Homo-oligomer: A and B are copies of this chain.
Amino acid sequence: VARGRLARPGGRLAVGIDLGGTTLNGLLVGEDGGLLARRRRATPKAEGAEAVLAAVRDMAAELLAEAHALKDSAAGAPALASREIIGLGFGIPGPVDAERGVCLFSPNLGWRDLDVASYFRQAFDLPVCVDNDVRAATLGEAWLGAGRPYRTFICLTVGTGIGAGVMLDGRLWRGPGSCAGEIGHIPIDMRPDAPLCGCGRRGCLEAVASGTAIAREAGMSSAREVADAARRGDAGAIAVLERAAAFLGLGISAAITLYNPEAVVVGGGVAGAWDLIGPVVRRTVEERTFPPNLAGLRGIFPAALGQDAGAVGAASLVLAPGVAQVEGASP
């Protein structure tokens, strides 16, 4: 894990900010993967879409100021002073047109058709890259995390909702409509009375295996509360988590069979209960996956960067285009 690692002197810097519906997480990242400064604050979404934008701008300004301070303090050390701030990257919850840098729709931030790239380009006069938060986290895990050894892997984010980023042969597969990897919405619970999903359909993976679904099934306020109860031996909580994990395993099995990845990485809040769900996910995948595809799978791993994956990946959009090559973005 790169966290806290010291950057090599010199080299390029970028700001990466992960815009969560609950938390804004910002990092100053070196091109060698060093995390040089961080900012973290609650997303002021109750104050409206403009307030969220202003909070992100302020955070970016603070991280850029840190970068300049680093350079100034290193005035006597030419290698450090040679550091160049090359841009800003942003990960946004919801569909994003990455080519234009436009947020198409983000219910969590209250944004719709917002030209994020132009806004920050004008604010800071620096290059700006924007992508969906799940894809940003995938790029983060690809660059510095659990996906690093693999050219082809799927990175699931299991939290309030369920999404996935798809790395195929070292490139992010986004799809011509920018909505590849929507694993949260594959039909998985086929019963006619399956739980209703936020998308309006019944029985989507997200409706039966997300943090929201886990909390609802257990009658608790959060998946974390369910995990805590399960760790205390609460049989009901254990049953709810195992059921969700089995559904997750079925969804992952479908993705392995279609994409033939070398690895699957699972992040997001629910991955914090990996000790409880991991064994059931793995067993279900082993039982339900087509043998040749299973044979090609090196493993199912919890994400390595935790809550920093999105911000690291957002910075990598600017810093590590070799990892972040975006394919299929234009129709």
Contact string against B for A residues 129-151, beta-carbon threshold 8 Å, 1 for contact and 0 otherwise:
00000000000000000000001
How long is the Cα–Cα vector from A164 to B260 in the complex, in angstroms? 13
- Smallest Cβ distance from A260 to chain B, in angstroms? 3
Asked if A199 contacts B291 (CB within 8 A), the reply is: yes
Residue of B nearest to A202 (CB): B288
Asked if B253 contacts A179 (CB within 8 A), the reply is: no
Asked if A190 contacts B190 (CB within 8 A), the reply is: yes
Asked if A260 contacts B201 (CB within 8 A), the reply is: no
Contact string against B for A residues 288-312, beta-carbon threshold 8 Å, 1 for contact and 0 otherwise:
1111110110000000000000000
Known: A168-B168, A250-B190, A258-B258. A179 touches B292 (CB 8 A): yes
Asked if A292 contacts B95 (CB within 8 A), the reply is: yes
How long is the Cα–Cα vector from A176 to B331 in the complex, in angstroms? 25
Asked if A258 contacts B260 (CB within 8 A), the reply is: no
Asked if B260 contacts A185 (CB within 8 A), the reply is: no
Asked if A179 contacts B328 (CB within 8 A), the reply is: no
- A152-B328, A189-B190 provided; 19 other pairs, C-beta below 8 A? A151-B328, A152-B175, A168-B173, A168-B327, A169-B328, A174-B260, A175-B293, A177-B260, A177-B295, A180-B259, A182-B260, A182-B292, A183-B258, A185-B293, A186-B253, A201-B288, A201-B290, A204-B290, A258-B258
Could you pull out 16 A-B pairs where Cβ atoms are within 8 angstroms? A151-B176, A152-B176, A175-B260, A175-B296, A176-B261, A179-B290, A180-B259, A180-B260, A181-B258, A183-B258, A186-B258, A187-B254, A187-B288, A190-B190, A254-B254, A255-B258
